[in-house]
Amino acid sequence: MSDNPAVQFKLVSRHFGTVKAVDALDLEIRDGEFFSMLGPSGSGKTTCLRMIAGFDRPTIGQIYLYGQDVSQLPPYERPVNTVFQDYALFPHMTVGENIGYGLMIKKVRSVERKKLVDEMLELVRLSGFADRKPAQLSGGQRQRVALARALVNHPKVLLLDEPLGALDLKLRQQMQVELKSIQKSVGITFIFVTHDQEEALTMSDRIAVFNLGKIEQIGSPAEIYEHPSTTFVAGFVGVSNLVKGAMARRIIGIEQMFSIRPEKIHIAAPDIGQAADEFAADGKVRDVIYLGLYTRYLVELGDGGDLVVVEQNLKTTSMDVTKLRGQNVRLLWKKEHVRMLGGADA
Ligand code: ATP
């Protein structure tokens, strides 16, 4: 482990004409962590990754890798490697040749090269696939070859730009677990770009949530999910009810925007009492969507607002839950689960 951060941005901006793709960003990524950059399309994630790799340069500001200012270094002089979404494998080469390509360029001798390639194949669970061509592999296997090819050079930092984007959901979820376990076993800093919040929550030690070229919040998955610090984060990561204005005043006593997660709200009978540590809101169930594992309810409150509630179907069946449609209910949730929000429109 190094005392210096693996990556450090000091007031980095990247402008394309009038577009501020990255806007005065300060950021520190620790050595050995699985760090995700999460945000909607166009929020500046890929531009950040490209500047770390050296494919792009900041308009203003400096980037440091392990304490060294690399702002002026070309990509091949930086201790980083990138895995792209489209894998970028050489189709005419075998899996083994693809993985060993970088070593061959560095003139590593063939016996040593074969040993290192075999180690990598084992790491990504593709032993026995060395002689196949990329076209003879599944999407997930190709992705693992791309990963092995990037890791064989022992970069200090591995950059991954939406690497699972082309895979179907099941394979994607399986690869998420594999990527995380590979990262743990090699101990290299992984910087992972994604717009998929579930993916970021599953794998990361820390997540930076990007919006309009800036970072709205950095924290562990639990911090980001349980304590979103802005309206944007509360809305982008998971599902949140955002309550403001008169409705907020009626429920919590002040006109301050807050968020409450749907799974924290409990549906009770309309005449049920409210404990001192709870907030309550009365409404009518407008919609019930039975989803097997859980049910999603849309509850209309008196003054036109509504709240989404999610409850697990621990004891209920689809028959039970649909009976609630049209019923008056009282919604209750613990005060401690309310998050007061900042941000532009709070
Ligand atoms: P996605 O998830 O779609 O890849 P992103 O968060 O990675 O999005 P970036 O690719 O970093 O976003 O783009 C940030 C902004 O900068 C966008 O508005 C984009 O149109 C703009 N941009 C990026 N590269 C260029 C370029 N070479 N020339 C002009 N504008 C660019």
- pLDDT given for residue 154 in this prediction: 87
Higher confidence at residue 167 or residue 100?
A: 100
Domains defined for the chain, CATH in brackets: 7-236 (3.40.50.300), 242-340 (2.40.50.140)
From the alpha carbon of 37, which atom of ligand 1 is closest? 6
Per-residue pLDDT band for 15 (boundaries 50, 70, 90) equals very high
Residue 193 C-alpha to ligand 1 middle, in angstroms?
13
- pLDDT given for residue 35 in this prediction: 97
Residue 236 C-alpha to ligand 1 middle, in angstroms?
19
**What mean pLDDT comes out for the span 312-333?**
87
From the alpha carbon of 48, which atom of ligand 1 is closest? 11
Residue 69 near residue 25 (C-beta atoms within 8 A): no
Residue 15 C-alpha to ligand 1 middle, in angstroms?
10
pLDDT tens string 242-298: 898 888 988 998 888 898 999 999 999 998 888 999 999 999 999 999 888 889 999
Residue 221 C-alpha to ligand 1 middle, in angstroms?
25
Of 163, 158, 15, 182, the residue nearest 78 (C-alpha): 158
pLDDT tens string 268-279: 999 888 899 999
pLDDT at 322 over 50: yes
- pLDDT given for residue 344 in this prediction: 44
**What mean pLDDT comes out for the span 58-85?**
91
Per-residue pLDDT band for 171 (boundaries 50, 70, 90) equals confident
> How many other CB atoms are there within 10 angstroms of residue 316's CB atom?
16
Residue 217 C-alpha to ligand 1 middle, in angstroms?
20
Give percent of the chain with pLDDT exceeding 90. Answer: 61
**What mean pLDDT comes out for the span 228-249?**
88
Q: Whose CA is nearest to atom 1 of ligand 1?
A: 41
What is the best residue among 15, 47, 199, 214 to mutate for testing ligand 1's pocket, by most ligand atoms within 8 Å of CB? 47
Q: Whose CA is nearest to atom 16 of ligand 1?
A: 21
Q: What is the pLDDT of the chain when averaged over all its residues? A: 90
Residue 37 C-alpha to ligand 1 middle, in angstroms?
14
At CA 40, angle to CA 49 and CA 311, rounded to 5? 125
Q: Whose CA is nearest to atom 19 of ligand 1?
A: 42
pLDDT at 1 over 70: no
Which protein residues touch ligand 1 with a CB less than 6 Å away? 16, 19, 21, 39, 41-47, 195
Rounded to 5 degrees, what are φ and ψ at 98? -60, -50
pLDDT at 123 over 90: no
Q: What is the 3-state secondary structure (H, E, C) of the chain?
A: CCCCCCEEEEEEEEEECCEEEEEEEEEEECCCCEEEEECCCCCCHHHHHHHHHCCCCCCEEEEEECCEECCCCCHHHCCEEEECCCCCCCCCCCHHHHHHHHHHHCCCCHHHHHHHHHHHHHHCCCCCCCCCCHHHCCHHHHHHHHHHHHHCCCCCEEEEECCCCCCCHHHHHHHHHHHHHHHHHHCCEEEEEECCHHHHHHHCCEEEEEECCEEEEEECHHHHHHCCCEHHHHHHCCCCEEECHHHHHHHHCCCCCEEECHHHCEEECCCCCCCCCEEEEEEEEEEEEECCCEEEEEEEECCCCEEEEEEECCCCCHHHHHCCCCCEEEEEEEHHHCEECECCCC
- pLDDT given for residue 2 in this prediction: 65
Q: Whose CA is nearest to atom 7 of ligand 1?
A: 46
Q: Whose CA is nearest to atom 10 of ligand 1?
A: 46
If you count them, how many residues does the chain have?
346
Those residues whose C-beta lies under 8 Å from the C-beta of residue 338, and which sit 6 or more positions away, are: 252, 258, 259, 260, 279
Per-residue pLDDT band for 346 (boundaries 50, 70, 90) equals very low
pLDDT tens string 77-89: 999 999 887 778 8
pLDDT tens string 130-165: 999 999 998 888 888 998 999 998 899 999 998 887
- pLDDT given for residue 16 in this prediction: 95
Residue 46 C-alpha to ligand 1 middle, in angstroms?
7
